[in-house]
């Protein structure tokens, strides 16, 4: 922003793509810091060093040999390693503590969270703060994300050695809620383990019905709250979407903003995506037909250019509307279309989808696990892309789908409602209609929207093309949203509120 000085910003998170990713946060944590740096700010990021970090380990430099120690009742010593992001400029500091972070998964295994998650992420937060002192680099603001880094504002306000240290006193915190459904709940005893003062354990503090709620702590002790779309900022203040925290948010409503996520337009570009078998753009779509053909071949589906192909890339969780798929399964199988589904998550839904693929191998393909390449190929090879979420703070897959010319069929909630425009003929003619939305969270509403999309795809090819093109023409890159974050942070720092 013209006339404002450059800011120093620490971005603290539990995952950053490509080093570790379980969902959208990782993509955001890669793109937003780089976008803010491009705008002239000194942005640095911190995350744990897990067992596998998708980076060339030879590029990592150890910058701190001993960090931690007496954070908790028993010592945990760690190290800090550094690399830079793809832009060659944005630092990533990895907090390495083998006992806490070198696990098979990021947050839990076999559907169960690791029992010491509070310790693991409390350690991340305290090590990140100590690192600032070691580097003698004092940020103007710290951006914290979700429950894993929610303890930063809590500690800054409540741990005497931090609260009373002039180094930390003027640092502002922005707490970003990416998913209010995951709150980092733990038993009361965790308070002692992570050394939080007892008096915080009350309903006005971080207690939540007899348990410790890390997300709530972040919301209460930060200077400013954001969530990832405007629609969701309104939704989380309601009982239906607030997951028990809507009251807290209503009380702090004047501190809450909704800023839509963006996508990394270089990483996700069908015109030169290295993970695709062919390339295409808005004007030349021939490559997309080849991507579809290749996907059908690779998935063992009937190779048929005309048969609509619906893709899904998703966590297999009820949040993502897998309950609707379950309820509609028999009817979905009977639709004249193909399915390619990539997902990881609940075993229940894996079994459900595996059954679908087993019964109809030429029509349905499912793959379980996390597979970046297949994800890109599904966005490129699909005609339509299904996102029936129960709630969706922002969602990124609709952006990728539209950019890759796959028309989204989605529930009208959160960021999906903000980013997809219902493809009525009028809206399409105006260059606006980009997808098919349904309101009610019911299998019938979802099926009606899918049937509508299939009908347009097969019977109204000109209209379909226009919808596809409208989606591809949207600018979902970070430019506008990074500017909004910048403005929010500038005001927070300058006004001190």
CB 178 → ligand ADP: shortest distance, Å?
Answer: 7
* Structure tokens that stand for 101 in this block: 């972070």
In the complex, the smallest distance separating the C-beta of residue 405 from ligand ADP, rounded to whole angstroms, is 16
Please list the residues that pair with 227 across neighbouring strands.
177, 258
To the nearest whole angstrom, how small is the minimum distance from the Cβ of residue 430 to ligand ADP?
27
Q: Could you give the C-alpha distances from 207 to 120, 190, 340, in angstroms and in order?
A: 20, 11, 43
Contact 478, 35 (CB under 8 A): yes
Nearer to ligand ADP, 25 or 489 (CB): 25
Interaction of residue 315 with ligand ADP, rule CB under 6 A: yes
178 CB neighbour count, 10 Å cutoff: 21
Q: Which residue's CB is nearer to ligand ADP, number 119 or number 342? A: 342
Q: Does 223 bind ligand ADP (CB under 6 A)?
A: no
Q: In the complex with ligand ADP, which residue's Cβ is closer, 230 or 371? A: 371
Query: In whole angstroms, what is the distance from residue 202 CA to residue 211 CA?
Result: 10
For the chain, report the end-to-end CA distance as a whole number of angstroms.
Answer: 19
Cβ neighbours of residue 368 under 8 Å, at least 6 residues apart? 316, 343, 344, 350, 353, 354
Number of residues that bind ligand ADP (CB under 6 A): 19
Q: DSSP letters of 88-106?
A: S-SEEEEEE-HHHH-SSSS
What is the C-alpha to C-alpha distance for residues 120 and 116, in angstroms, rounded to an integer?
A: 6
CB of 67 to ligand ADP, least distance (A): 29
Cβ-Cβ contacts under 8 Å for 302 (sequence gap 6 or more): 296, 338, 362, 363
DSSP 8: E
C-beta of 27 vs 273, nearer to ligand ADP: 27
Token representation of residue 411: 């529930």
Q: Residue 420 in contact with residue 385, Cβ under 8 Å? A: no
Q: Least separation, in Å, of the C-beta of 388 and ligand ADP?
A: 13
Nearer to ligand ADP by Cβ, of 17 and 212: the residue is 17
Interface mask (CB under 6 A) for ligand ADP, residues 340-379, using x and -?
Answer: --xxx-------------------------xxx--x----
Instruction: Give the range of 97-105, 138-146, 312-320, 428-436 binding ligand ADP by CB under 6 A.
Output: 312-320
Instruction: Give the Cα separation of 90 and 86 in Å (integer).
Output: 8
Q: Which residue spans within 24-158 are E strands per DSSP?
A: 42-48, 61-69, 76-84, 91-96, 108-109, 112-113, 141-145
Window 389 to 428, contacts with ligand ADP (CB under 6 A): 394-397
> Which range in 33-41, 217-225, 388-396, 433-441 contacts ligand ADP by CB under 6 A?
388-396
Answer for which of 9, 16, 24, 123 binds ligand ADP (CB under 6 A) is 24
Minimum distance, C-beta of residue 127 to ligand ADP, in the bound complex (Å): 25
Q: Which of 125, 298, 295, 105 is nearest to 214 (CA)?
A: 125
Nearest to 48 by CA among 91, 85, 15, 83: 15
Least separation in angstroms between residue 314's CB and ligand ADP is 5
Choices 19-27, 67-75, 148-156, 447-455 (CB under 6 A): range interacting with ligand ADP: 19-27
Q: Which of 27, 130, 223, 383 binds ligand ADP (CB under 6 A)?
A: 27
Q: How many CA atoms lie within 13 A of 310 on its CB side?
A: 23
CB of 371 to ligand ADP, least distance (A): 5
The reply to whether 20 sits near ligand ADP by the rule CB under 6 A is no
Considering the complex, what minimum distance in angstroms separates the CB of residue 88 from ligand ADP?
23
Neighbours of 461 (CB within 10 A): 11
Site string for ligand ADP, 316-345 (x = CB under 6 A): --------------------------xxx-
* DSSP state at residue 197: -
In the bound state with ligand ADP, the residue whose beta carbon lies nearer, of 201 and 370, is 370
* Minimum gap (Å) between residue 343 Cβ and ligand ADP: 5
Residue nearest ligand ADP (C-beta atom): 24
What does the alpha-carbon distance between residue 155 and residue 462 come to, in Å, rounded to a whole number? Answer: 57
**Which two tokens mark 408?**
């989204």
The CB-of-1 to ligand ADP minimum distance in angstroms stands at 27
233 sits in which H/E element: helix 230-235
Site string for ligand ADP, 171-210 (x = CB under 6 A): --------x-------------------------------
Q: Which residues are at the interface with ligand ADP (CB under 6 A)?
A: 23-25, 27, 179, 313-315, 342-344, 370-372, 375, 394-397
């Amino acid at each position: 922003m013209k006339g404002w000085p450059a800011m120093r910003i620490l971005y603290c998170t539990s995952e950053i793509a490509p080093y570790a990713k379980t969902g959208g946060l990782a993509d955001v944590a890669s793109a937003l810091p780089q976008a803010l740096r491009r705008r002239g700010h000194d942005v640095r990021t911190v995350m744990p060093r897990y067992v596998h970090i998708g980076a060339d380990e030879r590029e990592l430099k150890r910058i701190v040999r001993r960090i931690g120690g007496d954070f908790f009742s028993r010592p945990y010593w760690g190290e800090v390693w550094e690399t830079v992001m793809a832009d060659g400029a944005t630092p990533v500091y990895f907090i390495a503590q083998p006992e806490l972070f070198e696990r098979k998964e990021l947050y839990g295994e076999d559907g169960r969270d690791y029992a010491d998650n509070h310790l693991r992420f409390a350690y991340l937060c305290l090590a990140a703060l100590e690192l600032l002192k070691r580097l003698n680099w004092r940020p103007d603001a710290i951006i914290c994300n979700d429950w894993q880094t929610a303890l930063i504002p809590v500690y800054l306000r409540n741990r005497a050695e931090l609260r009373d240290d002039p180094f930390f006193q003027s640092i502002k915190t922005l707490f970003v809620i990416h998913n209010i459904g995951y709150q980092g709940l733990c038993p009361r005893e965790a308070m002692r383990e992570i050394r939080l003062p007892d008096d915080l354990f009350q309903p006005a503090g971080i207690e939540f019905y007899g348990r410790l709620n890390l997300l709530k702590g972040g919301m209460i002790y930060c200077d400013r709250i954001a969530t990832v779309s405007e629609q969701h900022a309104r939704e989380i203040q309601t009982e239906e979407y607030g997951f028990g925290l809507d009251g807290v948010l209503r009380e702090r409503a004047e501190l809450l903003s909704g800023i839509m996520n963006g996508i990394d337009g270089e990483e996700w570009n069908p015109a030169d995506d290295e993970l695709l078998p062919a390339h295409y753009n808005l004007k030349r779509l021939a490559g997309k037909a080849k991507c579809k053909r290749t996907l059908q071949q690779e998935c063992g589906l009937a190779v048929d250019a005309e048969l609509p192909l619906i893709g899904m890339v998703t966590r297999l969780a009820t949040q993502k509307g897998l309950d609707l798929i379950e309820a509609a399964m028999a009817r979905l199988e009977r639709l004249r279309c193909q399915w390619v589904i990539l997902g990881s998550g609940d075993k229940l839904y894996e079994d459900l989808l595996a059954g679908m693929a087993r019964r109809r191998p030429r029509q349905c393909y499912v793959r379980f696990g996390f597979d970046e390449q297949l994800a890109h190929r599904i966005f490129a090879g699909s005609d339509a892309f299904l996102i029936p979420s129960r709630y969706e703070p922002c969602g990124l897959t609709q952006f990728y789908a539209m950019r890759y010319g796959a028309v989204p069929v989605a529930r009208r909630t959160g960021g999906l409602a903000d980013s997809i425009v219902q493809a009525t003929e009028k809206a399409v003619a105006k260059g606006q209609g980009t997808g098919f939305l349904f309101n009610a969270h019911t299998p019938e509403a979802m099926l009606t929207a899918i049937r509508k999309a299939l009908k347009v795809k097969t019977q109204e090819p000109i209209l379909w093309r226009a919808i596809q093109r409208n989606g591809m023409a949207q600018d979902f890159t970070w430019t506008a949203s990074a500017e909004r974050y910048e403005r929010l942070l500038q005001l927070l720092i300058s006004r001190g509120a």
